[in-house]
Chain A
């Protein structure tokens, strides 16, 4: 799924949306992420109808905020994940999620190919690391990243002792961190 310049296909589509407001590319983004976003929202406890509505909201936000997407710092999946996760938390907290300050690129900056390739490589390592985890480790991480809301208790829904789950998450993420630790700049 990676193109010669290092971008994943979804990242290429998102760049086309950002630069050319390309509706065909946006439709492909929707075909890829729409059903996955719905799966994430259902896991987070939304009912079918609400999940459909929130998928529409999230994808509209992707369309409107595409100008902020920077492939030097994120792949499309991570960028869309953040938008969806914030929306998911808005709905639970009934107040807008805290958003980070936007970083402004100086105008006319050329894409930095080595940086983009390095990011793509890290992302591949990360996916490979996820593939090597035991299924229950992946499940625990998925729960933390997609289902648990602030202050919710992990042990309540799984019936496993909290300590076990916590150490599983840590174990899984520590292995991921090994793959990620070179990502810090400088």
Chain B
């Protein structure tokens, strides 16, 4: 595995550590932090800020008996469910988003597969499977898009992105990522805008309308 060369920018690591990222981006950042020691160290440094702030807060009085209640609960409270674990190429945060199951791919045509992990008015999170030499399907995005490579590689005008690399695309970036030769490229992509399948939907409708 080659070294990671495209990292999460500092301001997003900070936003993640401070708990400010929308869910879809938080999953991509957490997945990268699970694969990249340098960014993880940066995130943990940022958390020290949170800890230092917690230490400085003026204490708020707890109810009488709060401590006894807690100590009594130590033996009776059920332990938390085990934390999600990495499985194959999928780091723990991706397995969490997959509910611990392997991906359930849907065919998009041309050998390209996708699984939407979550989608709402805040944006979407999905896994993509792109055979070598194939272009990532066109998908307009109005704002920010974060794409993390989990297997294989893709390249576009911004460079080559291998396992662990993250591409950050602002809405003005006109890029056409193509999967590199070798293993199929599997990546995790988050956008902050609802997905628009500009090219794909009309193509689906073509046979129906014979256009």
**Chain A contacts to B: CB under 8 angstroms:** 23, 26-27, 30-31, 33-40, 42-43, 51-52, 55-56, 59-61, 63-65, 73-82, 84-86, 88-89, 93, 95-102, 122-123, 126-127, 130, 138, 141-142, 144-146, 148-151, 173, 176-177, 180, 183-186
Asked if residues A81 and B50 are in contact (CB atoms below 8 Å), the reply is yes
Q: Which of A43, A78, A184 has the most CB of B within 10 A?
A: A78
A31–B10 alpha-carbon span in the complex (Å):
34
Asked if residues A86 and B92 are in contact (CB atoms below 8 Å), the reply is no
- The 8 A CB mask of B117-156 against A (1 = contact, 0 = none) is 0000010000000000000000000000000000000000
Quick one: given A95-B23, A99-B93, A150-B23, are A77 and B84 in contact (CB under 8 Å)?
no
Quick one: given A35-B62, A141-B49, are A98 and B79 in contact (CB under 8 Å)?
no
Nearest-neighbour CB distance to chain B for A62, whole angstroms, equals: 10
Closest B residue to A150 using CB positions: B22
Asked if residues B53 and A35 are in contact (CB atoms below 8 Å), the reply is no
A61–B93 alpha-carbon span in the complex (Å):
19
Closest A residue to B79 using CB positions: A64
Contacts of B33 in A (CB 8 A): 100
Asked if residues A52 and B48 are in contact (CB atoms below 8 Å), the reply is no
- Looking at the complex, which one of A51, A59, A80, A151 makes contact with B54 (CB distance below 8 Å)? A80
Asked if residues B62 and A38 are in contact (CB atoms below 8 Å), the reply is yes
Partner-contacting stretch, out of B64-72, B162-170, B173-181, B195-203: B64-72
Nearest-neighbour CB distance to chain A for B24, whole angstroms, equals: 10
Asked if residues B61 and A98 are in contact (CB atoms below 8 Å), the reply is no
Contacts of A74 in B (CB 8 A): 44, 47-48, 51
Closest A residue to B22 using CB positions: A150
Contacts of A101 in B (CB 8 A): 34, 85-86, 91-93
A138–B57 alpha-carbon span in the complex (Å):
11
Sample 19 A-B pairs with CB under 8 A, ordered by A number: A74-B51, A75-B48, A78-B47, A81-B53, A85-B50, A88-B19, A98-B93, A99-B30, A99-B84, A99-B92, A100-B30, A127-B55, A138-B53, A145-B19, A146-B53, A148-B19, A150-B23, A151-B122, A183-B42
Closest B residue to A142 using CB positions: B53
Quick one: given A36-B55, A36-B59, are A100 and B40 in contact (CB under 8 Å)?
yes
A64–B17 alpha-carbon span in the complex (Å):
22
Contacts of B92 in A (CB 8 A): 99-102
A149–B18 alpha-carbon span in the complex (Å):
9
Closest B residue to A154 using CB positions: B20
Contacts of B37 in A (CB 8 A): 185
Contacts of B30 in A (CB 8 A): 98-100
- Looking at the complex, which one of A31, A95, A176, A177 makes contact with B67 (CB distance below 8 Å)? A31
A159–B22 alpha-carbon span in the complex (Å):
23
Asked if residues A96 and B96 are in contact (CB atoms below 8 Å), the reply is yes
Contacts of B208 in A (CB 8 A): none
A86–B51 alpha-carbon span in the complex (Å):
13
Contacts of B38 in A (CB 8 A): 184-186
